Structure formats: C-alpha cells, structure tokens
Structure 1
Amino acid sequence: MTKNDEAAQAVRNFVRVANIIANLDTILTEAKNLSLTAKNARVVALRAGDSAFGFKPITNFIDEFSDLTIKTTKQISQLSSQLFSIALSVVRCSDFQHHLNACAKHSQSKAINHLQRGINRELMQTIKQLESVIDHLESYFEDIKKQMRSAEYIAVTSRVEASNAGEFSESLQSVSDFITGAAKKIKSAIHNNLKEINQLKGALR
C-alpha cells in the first residue's frame, strides 16, 4: 500500500467512526422510548387491575433492560468521543506523514528524517490506541445485543399477557408491538456498527 493509499484509508476509517457514532443516536433514542413505554404500560396495567396482573412484572423488566441499554449506550457515547478524537489524530498523522515523505524525495535533510521517524512512531501508537477503543466498543455492542434478545423474549411474553387483559388488551398489545419494533431497530443499528468495526479492524491489520 502506497503512502497515498494509507492516507486515503485513514480518511475511510474516520468515516466509519462517524457512521458508528451516528448509529448510536438510533440506539439511545429507541432505548429512551422503551423506558417511556414501560412507564405508560405500567399506568395501563394499573387501570386494568387484576385482568392485567401478569403484565405488571413485565413492565419492570422493560424498565430494567431499557435503563441498562441507556446506561450502556451512554458509556459507548463517551468511548465514541474518544474514538472520534483518535481517528482524527490518525488522519492528521497520516496526512503529515504523506507530506514529509514527499519532502524527503527532494531532500535528504536530517531534520526531515528525524520528523519522519517521529511521526511514524506517533502514527503507530495512535493506531494501537484506536484498536484498543474499537475492542472495547465491540464488547459493549455485544452486551446490547444480549439485552435485545431479552427484549424480544419479553415482547412475546407480554403479548400473551396482554391477550388476557380484557378491554385493555389492545393498549397492552401495542406495548408488545413497540418493544418488538424498538428491539429490531436497535439490533439493526448494532449490526451496522459491528460491521463497521469489522471493517475498521481489517483495515488496521
């Protein structure tokens, strides 16, 4: 790979990082919506009384995994800010390295050679930092995937309980449908981010 190719690759990696951060908005938004849905479902379940007795503990589960997803996503957001900063440093280092290499073709200056060695070391260190943050991110995304599997199980269970809630059945049924839809959107965003991470890891090897 030429130095021009390496600089272009650094930019592509930076774009992948930006895509990961954009997908986080979807995950956090849907997790917050799930939390709000749990609160609304709890109100409906209370109004329904004994006919929705089995639905009440389900709202607690919805609250738990939505809060956990929000917490995990916020942790990811902090890590992503770090990832964004490091990816930007990689782009800048690659660009500076490219300019130094171009200068070296026309001059054998010791100063330029010294700068080249310095920027090469800095670039390698920055890439290692990037790899470390990517590994942490991947672990967080896998955690959210597990949370969404729990969400899908809860959606199935809540659908069964909603069918026994009499006149409130339709309202509680809509809660089940929303959980399914939100889990699907979050899983899709996670899938996209894991795909971006795999491409990033492949590019950094």
Structure 2
Amino acid sequence: MTNKSKVTLAIENFVRVANIVSNLDKILQEAKNLSLTAKNARVVALRAGDSAYGFKPITNFIDEFSELTIKTTKNISLLSSNLFAIALAVVRYSEFQQRLNTAFEITNHRDIAQLQHQGNIDLLRTMKQLESAITHLESYFEDILKQMRSAEYIAVTSRVEASNAGEFSESLQSVSNFITSAAKKIKQAINDNLKEMHLIRGALR
C-alpha cells in the first residue's frame, strides 16, 4: 500500500464516520417520535375505555423501548464524538507520514527516518483506537436492532388489539402502522451504519 493510498483511505474513513453520525440523528428523531406516539396512543386508549383494554399495556411497551432507544442513541452520540476525533487523527497522522516520506526521499536524513518511525507508531496506534471504537459502537447498534425487532412484534400485537377498539380502531391502527414505519427507518439507518463500519474495519486491515 502506498502512502498516498493510506491518506486516501483515512479520508474515506473520516467521511464514513461523518455518515454514521448523520444516521444517528435519524435514529434519535425516530425514537423520539415513537415516544410521542406512545403518549398519544395512551390518551386514545384511555378514551376508548374497555374496548381498548388490551391496548393499554402495549402503549407502556412502546414507551419503554422508545425511551431505551433514545438512551442508547444518546450514549452512541457520545461515543461517536470520540470516533470522529480518532478518525480525524488518523487522517492527520497519515498526511504527516506522507510528508515525512517525501522529505526522506529528498534528503535521506537520519532525523527524518526517526520521525518516520515514531509517526508510523502513532498512526498504527490511532488506527487500532479507531477499530476498537468501531467494535464498541457496533455492540450498541446490535442492541437497538433487538429493540426494533421487539417493536415490530409489538406492532403486530397492537394491530390485533386495535381491531377490537370499536370507533377508536382506526386511530390505534395508525399507531401500529407508525411503529412499523419508525422501526423500519431505524433499522435501515443502523444497517447503513453497520455497512459503513464494515468498510472502515476493512480499510484498517
């Protein structure tokens, strides 16, 4: 691998990290929408009374997993800031190493060779930090995927309960549809991030 390709890969990884952070905003927004939907559904279920009796515990589940997703996503956001800083450091070390290599080709100076050695150590260290941060983030995304699988199951159950809610059935059915839609969007954003992380990991090897 040439030094120029290392810089290029480092920049590409930095862009991928930026994409991951952008997708986190989508996940957090959908999770907040789910939480709001749970509150609205609870109001409708209360108005529906006994006809929506089976829907009431479902709203609690919706609220629970949406709040858990919000909490997990906020934790991820903190980690992603660190990921962003590490990815930027990899770019800077790669560019510095490239400049040192160019200078060494011109002067063949011993001091530059020592700087090259130290620069390579720093570059490898930050690349390992980036890979470690990626692995840590991946476990969080897997947690959210599990939450979304639960959400999809709840959406199916809530449709059944909503069908028994009489005049409030349509309103509660819309809640079920929204849960399905939000879960799908969150899963898509997570899968996009997992793909980006896979590419980053591959570029680091």
In the superposition, the TM-score normalised over structure 2's length comes to: 0.99
Unaligned stretches of 5+ residues in structure 2 = none
Q: Distance in 1 between matches of 2:145 and 2:18?
A: 21
- Tell me the secondary structure at the aligned position of residue 106 of structure 2: coil
> After the TM superposition, which parts of structure 1 deviate over 3 Å for at least 4 consecutive aligned residues?
none
Q: How many pairs are equivalent?
A: 205
Give the CA deviation at 1:108: 2.0
Partner residue, 2:129: 129
- CA distance in structure 1 between the partners assigned to 2:69 and 2:129 by the alignment: 25
* Aligned positions of 1:35-114 closer than 5 A: 35-114=35-114
Q: Separation in 1 of the partners of 2:201 and 2:5?
A: 17
Residue identity in the other structure for 1:125: R
SS where residue 106 of structure 1 aligns?
Answer: helix
Residue 110 of structure 1 and its aligned partner are, at CA, apart by 2.1
Asked if 1:176 corresponds to 2:176, the answer is yes
Unaligned runs of 5+ in 1: none
TM-score (norm 1): 0.99
Which whole-Å deviations, capped at 9, do the CAs of 1:5-33 have from their partners, x for residues lacking one?
11101001111111111100110000000
Identical residues among aligned pairs (%): 72
Q: Which amino acid aligns with 1:33?
A: N
Return the offset for 1:111: 1.9
Q: CA deviation at 1:114?
A: 1.6
Partner AA of 1:177 in structure 2: N
Q: In 1, distance between residues paired with 2:5 and 2:108?
A: 23
Partner Cα distance (2:56, 2:151) in 1: 15
Distance in 2, Cα, partners of 1:113 & 1:130: 26
For residues 147-166 of structure 1, what are the alpha-carbon distances to aligned partners after superposition, in whole Å with 9 as ceiling and x for unaligned?
00000000000000000001
Indicate the RMSD between aligned Cα atoms, in angstroms: 0.6
